Chains A and B, each alone.
Chain A
């Protein structure tokens, strides 16, 4: 097991970086998209609410792999040549944004209604009340579930292996195809994933307990 770690360290390290990079880019992207759709879902206009709802329900009920493969197969056919890493990260972003939209929406709705009413009656506009009053309070509620979403993202980024995205799982399969040592390689890959996810998972549990 150790010799896999030492002999293939540079491959594993680059895989780790690609996994982390893809997860971080997807996290930022899906936070932006997710927040937009969360705002649509709670907006005062019915048409916007319907759009938000449809987006969330559709992407929550379709497998990540289907979304990722769609971008991997369809974009190069009709639009532009993109590599596996890019299409995989786009797929991850869109899939995760639906979950983040739900998290953010729940966080905003958990803020007492009186806050919005009071802010509005003090003369703030809807947007000002949202950004200055509601968001800062909602963020604290949303951070633990968002952390869990990030853990899911790191785990889900293993679908990059399907689209040659150079991530940890992909490097693992390359190592398997040269060494044929499946058991040890997958254990090493598992340990590397745990290095990323386990500390974060315990930290989020600690935050949940402390802020509860």
Chain B
């Protein structure tokens, strides 16, 4: 018990929360970027433009099937060889965005594909243009189907920011490792606190999505 009280001293907690701030910052920026880019790529893949869409689809499949850790290593250690040297935070955001955009693109594509084709045909035959149908008829229905997988993807994104400890991104996990590295008595308290903090952030996002889900279906 004494260990826990010492481990959760104001100084340590402040340091951990600083790390949590970086985790949240990197996550939010990556979520926004990957939602925009992934949305565009997913649409591009769905509308099936000759030559372009299959190539985009293949690149998406390749990125989706690589470990995120490898992409992080590549952006931070591999890109400098090619003449680009990003800082730690931009490198993490870049790696996360590349990986998560591919994941989001697949979710968006399969969400649109899951909408009954009759909807598109019906709307077109009433005289709406393709773009109008997409925007007003198909996408609103598809979004409802996309929300649960998108949210679990973004929860994964938040969890996966911890992988960037390996390039010394000063986020939650990295700060916790520094604290328990100083004193072995702090190991268990730190892991407990890590679990609690990550759980709060991730679970809050899941609850938010449930709320959103209820709003949309009401």
Docked CA distance A162–B173 (Å): 13
Q: Which of B69, B162, B206 contacts A66 (CB 8 A)?
A: B162
Is B5 part of the binding interface, using a Cβ–Cβ cutoff of 8 Å? Answer: no
Is A6 part of the binding interface, using a Cβ–Cβ cutoff of 8 Å? Answer: no
Chain B CB within 10 Å — which of A63, A176, A190 has the most? A63
Interface-located stretch among A8-16, A35-43, A130-138, A150-158: A150-158
Is A174 part of the binding interface, using a Cβ–Cβ cutoff of 8 Å? Answer: no
Q: Which chain A residues border B74 with CB–CB below 8 Å?
A: 182-183, 186-187, 190
Docked CA distance A63–B158 (Å): 8
Docked CA distance A81–B78 (Å): 35
Q: Which chain A residues border B81 with CB–CB below 8 Å?
A: 181-183
Is A80 part of the binding interface, using a Cβ–Cβ cutoff of 8 Å? Answer: no
Which B42-89 residues have a C-beta within 8 angstroms of A?
A: 61-62, 64-70, 73-74, 77-82
Interface-located stretch among B118-126, B129-137, B195-203: B195-203
Minimum CB–CB distance for A57 against chain B, Å: 7
Q: Which chain B residues border A158 with CB–CB below 8 Å?
A: 67-70
Q: Is the CB of A65 within 8 A of B78?
A: no
Which residue of chain B has its CB nearest to the CB of A161?
Answer: B69
Q: Is the CB of B69 within 8 A of A61?
A: no
Is A58 part of the binding interface, using a Cβ–Cβ cutoff of 8 Å? Answer: yes
Docked CA distance A116–B159 (Å): 38
For the residues of A in contact with B, the DSSP-based class is helix
Which residue of chain B has its CB nearest to the CB of A199?
Answer: B65
Q: Which chain B residues border A202 with CB–CB below 8 Å?
A: 61
Is A142 part of the binding interface, using a Cβ–Cβ cutoff of 8 Å? Answer: no
Docked CA distance A115–B70 (Å): 46
Docked CA distance A36–B206 (Å): 24
Is A159 part of the binding interface, using a Cβ–Cβ cutoff of 8 Å? Answer: yes
Docked CA distance A172–B67 (Å): 13
Q: Which of A63, A173, A189 contacts B159 (CB 8 A)?
A: A63
How many inter-chain contacts with C-beta < 8 Å in the A-B complex? 110
Minimum CB–CB distance for B182 against chain A, Å: 14
Q: Which chain A residues border B203 with CB–CB below 8 Å?
A: 57, 61
Docked CA distance A90–B99 (Å): 26
Minimum CB–CB distance for B91 against chain A, Å: 13
Minimum CB–CB distance for B100 against chain A, Å: 13
Q: Which chain B residues border A65 with CB–CB below 8 Å?
A: 162-163, 165, 173
Minimum CB–CB distance for A55 against chain B, Å: 13
Docked CA distance A19–B64 (Å): 18
Which A160-198 residues have a C-beta within 8 angstroms of B?
A: 161-162, 169, 172-173, 176, 181-183, 186-187, 189-190, 193-194, 197-198
Q: Is the CB of B199 within 8 A of A155?
A: no
Docked CA distance A157–B69 (Å): 10
Q: Is the CB of A197 within 8 A of B69?
A: no
Docked CA distance A95–B102 (Å): 23
Q: Is the CB of B162 within 8 A of A63?
A: yes
**Contact A63-B173, Cβ < 8 Å, known A151-B65, A155-B65:** yes
Is A74 part of the binding interface, using a Cβ–Cβ cutoff of 8 Å? Answer: yes
Q: Is the CB of B62 within 8 A of A189?
A: no
Q: Is the CB of A189 within 8 A of B173?
A: no
Minimum CB–CB distance for A36 against chain B, Å: 22
Q: Which chain B residues border A169 with CB–CB below 8 Å?
A: 67, 69-70, 73
Q: Which of A63, A73, A162 contacts B198 (CB 8 A)?
A: A63
For this complex, 7 residue pairs linking A to B, each with C-beta atoms less than 8 Å apart, are: A57-B203, A60-B202, A61-B202, A63-B198, A182-B78, A193-B66, A194-B66
12 additional A-B pairs beyond A57-B203, A190-B66, beta carbons within 8 Å, are: A61-B159, A63-B163, A65-B162, A70-B191, A73-B187, A74-B188, A157-B67, A169-B69, A169-B73, A186-B77, A190-B70, A197-B65
The list of the 4 closest CB pairs from A to B, nearest first, reads A63-B159, A158-B67, A197-B65, A61-B202
